Structure 1
Amino acid sequence: MNCNFVFSCCVIWLKGKIKLSEKKEIESIYNIKKYLQDDAILPIYFLFGEDSFTINNVIKIIEKKIIPLVTADFDRESTTLTKDSSISQFIDLAYSFPFGNGKKLITVRNFEAINDKKLLLNYIKDPAEFTVLIIAQYSKSAPLNQEPYKSLFAKNYIFEAREMRANELSEWMFKKAKVEKLNLSQAAGQLLLEMVGESKAVLEMQLIKIATYSKPGEEITPEIIKNLAEITKEYTIFDLQNALGNGNKEKAIEYAFNLIDSDGNKMTLIIAMLTKYITNLTQILGITNDAEGVKAIGGSYYFAKKITYLRNENRLANAAKALLEADIRLKTTTIDNKTNLSILIAQILK
């Protein structure tokens, strides 16, 4: 199995497919306030993408706007879908008349879990005038040539929460650090990104923790970040990546289980970050020049170049296959996360 194949598999898994023509662009979730004007409240707000942190924050923004229009507590509903759920579970609620004389507010999460997505089409064509329906889909798959996404797009009801690029995430982190009154050095910020990955929720949690333990006005250096991780006895995705990269199965299991047990770190995030890690290692195979390495994968090259065990084409191909199988198990079976992780690590390091 060649290097290009491994890289292509990883990139496809990470990015998904949003099939847009050059003339079509799905509205960004960051522009949601334009669609919350008093005289232009939408009947449906369909939020999708893998940036669950932003999706959940925008749900709060929409709810804050609509709740004053809801006059009865019974007219507020929230549901989380599973693979056994159906569209009618919330559509029937949306069409039923409100108890009060105001709006109904229904929030639906995990739309990606259900199979009968096309059945939403009838409601999109004829939504209840008294209901505001918020639907969250925590995945990137929203092909505009398929229903219900095609009609959602035509009605301007769909909003994308795309993942931030590395430079955008870094900019967001430093702005958030200022809000927390942290003097975060560039080197410390880079290390923090490497340690916790690209989840804004986890980054925010870590910044709050740093603010709690650090002194007012103190410059936050990489040493402080490392010491804080030891003090709080927390492991990060960075630790797990290093353990796998250097073939340390015992440590990889320890770090992985710690991540599963800690808040904000779920199996989906772990698989996503490990897949990106394997993609990065694949991109720098054969690269020995630091400038070329940084150009290929950014500042993470300085950490990646120290890896020993996984800097091998066959092992990377095996790791990519193991990650795909772990993702399939996660989505199609009831296997518990620790068992899934144990199998994944064993397959990567076999």
Structure 2
Amino acid sequence: MDVKSAAKAIKQGEISPIYLLYGSEKYQMKEFTSFLEEQVIQKEERDFALVHYDLAETPLQIVVEEAEMVPFMVPRKLIFVRDSSVFTAGKDNGKVEHHVEALLEYMKNPAEYSVLIFVVNNEKLDERKKIVKAVKSSGIALSFMPMGGDELLRWVEKRFKDGGCITTAGASEMLINNAGTQLQTLSAEVDKLCLYAGAGGTINPEIVEQLVARSTEQNIFVLIEHIANLRLEQALAIFYELLKQREEPIKIASLISRQFRIILQVKDLAGQSYSQQQIASQLSLHPYAVKIAGEQARKFQAAQLRQILSSLGELDYQMKTGKMDKVLGIELFLLRLGK
């Protein structure tokens, strides 16, 4: 079952006795748990109906005892359990001893007044473990992974719509390019932009550029985009802005090199018919970053990218050994690249 199907079932009153939430997208995971709270627990009942445990500190058998205990003054309770290693691979180095058999036994006849929600901030579960198989059989396991490039754009556009804003073409892309791919950050920036525009106001790329500051990494994305489109003046302007922000030239060169390396890797893998999600997994990147790198990769030949990386390697050596002025070295690199 996916997250949308699980949410639909919850709205219809079909509540599973056990949920196992896992993945790296913490913001979406928090949205789901908040939704679950709103649907299952009345606001005035929350002081008595919400219980939190951390398996790094509490034995699993204590959590099971809590689930078996009849709730006080409320008809149902939600028990949120932060997991350390019960559901994942690797050894638990903690001092807490977990009796997994207690949960396995509980799942045979779970209490109707308790809902267990295990939260695992890990991309993968250990499918070999009996406890994982049992939860997937008796409860609902939901994966929360980074969205694909197009899905992330749709999410941002929906957030703008929910905030009462109208966006023009390119505004959502500009926001992601400036703010990055973290949903928590994007959500906060959307709220800020909608507050600026007012109810029914319009957000265009110019407003996003004016109000949403770019991180150093995001500036490098844009700098390379300018290089790829032979917009040398704009690329140099970003470089000089980074210098004003007291960024070290060697760090800037390193980030430029990293991005060109990603572009080459994406180009190579795409040439082997890897999908965007497969490339993201292979390179441990967000799918949207792969999407941008893929678009940039189409503007370079593989041999050209290898030559650029070789030049950056030589530039790094010259800057670190004092054979080349750092600022001048990057300026010359950008000028040669823009020809």
TM exceeding 0.5: yes
Aligned 8 A contact 2:177 2:222 in 1: no
- Mapped to 2, the partners of 1:40 and 1:85 lie a distance apart of 29
Residue 87 of structure 1: aligned partner: 60
- Mapped to 1, the partners of 2:41 and 2:9 lie a distance apart of 16
Aligned 8 A contact 2:165 2:198 in 1: no
Report the TM-score when normalising by structure 1.
Answer: 0.58
- State the Cα deviation string for residues 35-81 of structure 1 (Å, max 9, x = none): 32676432112222222222111111211222149968444312345
Residue 52 of structure 2: aligned partner: 78
Out of 131, 136, 139, the residue aligned to residue 122 of structure 2 is 139
Give the total of aligned pairs. 260
Aligned 8 A contact 2:194 2:201 in 1: no
Aligned 8 A contact 2:17 2:139 in 1: no
Residue 102 of structure 1: aligned partner: 75
Q: 1:303 to 1:250 in 2, by over 3 A?
A: farther
- Mapped to 1, the partners of 2:28 and 2:46 lie a distance apart of 28
Secondary structure at the residue paired with 2:39?
Answer: helix
- Mapped to 1, the partners of 2:81 and 2:260 lie a distance apart of 32
Aligned 8 A contact 1:70 1:104 in 2: no
Out of 53, 62, 83, the residue aligned to residue 27 of structure 2 is 53
Q: 1:103 to 1:185 in 2, by over 3 A?
A: same
- State the Cα deviation string for residues 240-299 of structure 1 (Å, max 9, x = none): 76799989896279x9xxxxxxxxxxxxxxxxxxx9996445324799xxxxxxxx9434
Q: 1:76 to 1:300 in 2, by over 3 A?
A: same
Unaligned runs of at least 5 residues, structure 2: 93-97, 226-238, 252-257, 271-278, 280-289, 314-339
- Mapped to 1, the partners of 2:46 and 2:193 lie a distance apart of 42
Secondary structure at the residue paired with 1:100?
Answer: coil
Out of 94, 107, 111, the residue aligned to residue 124 of structure 1 is 107
- What are the within-5 Å matches in structure 2 for residues 134-283 of structure 1? 134-214=117-197, 219-229=202-212, 235=215, 237-239=217-219, 251=247, 279-280=262-263, 282-283=265-266
Greater relative contact order (Cα 8 A, min sep 6): structure 1 or 2? Answer: 1
RMSD over aligned CA atoms reads 4.6
- Mapped to 1, the partners of 2:50 and 2:172 lie a distance apart of 41
Secondary structure at the residue paired with 1:77?
Answer: strand
- Mapped to 2, the partners of 1:92 and 1:191 lie a distance apart of 50
Residue 291 of structure 2: aligned partner: 298
- Mapped to 2, the partners of 1:64 and 1:143 lie a distance apart of 31
Q: 1:43 to 1:285 in 2, by over 3 A?
A: closer
Aligned 8 A contact 2:175 2:212 in 1: no
Q: 1:56 to 1:29 in 2, by over 3 A?
A: same
Out of 303, 309, 314, the residue aligned to residue 312 of structure 1 is 309
Out of 11, 15, 18, the residue aligned to residue 44 of structure 1 is 18
Larger mean Cα displacement after TM superposition, 101-110 or 152-161:
101-110
- Mapped to 1, the partners of 2:267 and 2:55 lie a distance apart of 40
Deviation at 1:154, TM superposition (A): 1.4
Aligned 8 A contact 1:111 1:136 in 2: no
Q: Which amino acid aligns with 1:312?
A: L
Identity %: 21
Q: Which amino acid aligns with 2:218?
A: F
Q: 1:126 to 1:200 in 2, by over 3 A?
A: same
Q: Which amino acid aligns with 2:146?
A: E
Q: Which amino acid aligns with 1:91?
A: V
- Mapped to 2, the partners of 1:139 and 1:112 lie a distance apart of 9
Deviation at 1:121, TM superposition (A): 3.3
Deviation at 1:207, TM superposition (A): 0.9
Q: Which amino acid aligns with 1:171?
A: R
Aligned 8 A contact 1:75 1:103 in 2: yes
Q: 1:128 to 1:98 in 2, by over 3 A?
A: same
Secondary structure at the residue paired with 1:148?
Answer: helix
Deviation at 1:220, TM superposition (A): 3.0
- Mapped to 2, the partners of 1:181 and 1:226 lie a distance apart of 20
Q: Which amino acid aligns with 2:40?
A: I
